Structure 1
């Protein structure tokens, strides 16, 4: 984080800390030069820091397509996720205010996503 140069650096720091505090089993590593979080040995949430006009968070179930994707369902009650596949989607925040408004819903979503 010290060397990170991104317009959303402050928001990233807050969300990073809050994601890690959701459960002691959540782990963090750096993947593609960005924070990535896992649970029970599986990667689940990765920040995409390439776009600088927004903060984009990728929800996934690992780097590769899984065999059990058919029939997989996850309900995003808040409507935050743009689904790219049944088990892969993105959440974007367009400003610090946007992230603050949606923070609670986002953290509940991440908490549930970690366990799928």
Structure 2
């Protein structure tokens, strides 16, 4: 018998989650966590949220049933991303202001098709978080 890894707050949340996009949520979580080994996670705004050294920079939005949004933000402190600091080669970001944007996925296939570009975006974003 091997030892099992204890469930994290996010594991527990996802285990209880009844959402039509659950596979997309799980895949998106894995892609975000794989972007940088320093990324931590928790639950914020009733959804998985990601942080670097306790500074949250991305939180999923689970309101929609046909897609999952990843909200990129700069935490509670009001700051702005310098213009031109984020290269969005695939044009997948929807900017909501100078300090936040969303990235949308309509299914696991969508996350997989754009995983490398998303990880590049996340690494750029984290440099400002």
Summarize the Cα distance change of 1:51–1:63 in structure 2 as closer, same or farther, 3 Å threshold.
Answer: farther
Other-structure match for 2:111 = 99
- Report how many residues are paired: 113
Q: Following TM superposition, by how much is the alpha carbon of 1:104 offset from its aligned partner in structure 2, in angstroms?
A: 1.9
What do residues 58-96 of structure 1 show as CA deviations (whole Å, max 9, x unaligned)? 000013422xx2x72323222110001122110111233
4+ long deviations beyond 3 Å: none
Task: Report the counterpart of residue 19 of structure 2 in structure 1.
Answer: 6
Matched, 1:88 2:104: no
Residue of structure 2 equivalent to 1:61: 74
Matches within 5 A, 1:61-80: 61-66=74-79, 69=80, 72-73=82-83, 74-80=86-92
Please list every run of 5 or more consecutive structure 2 residues that lacks an aligned counterpart in the other structure. 1-13
- Kept in 1: contact 2:57–2:72 (CA 8 A): yes
CA contact (8 A) 1:58 1:91 kept: yes
RMSD of equivalent CA atoms: 1.7
**In the TM superposition, what is the alpha-carbon distance from 1:49 to its structure 2 partner?**
0.6
TM-score normalized with structure 2 length: 0.77
Indicate conservation of the 8 Å contact 2:87/2:121, yes or no. Answer: no
Alignment correspondent of 1:46: 59
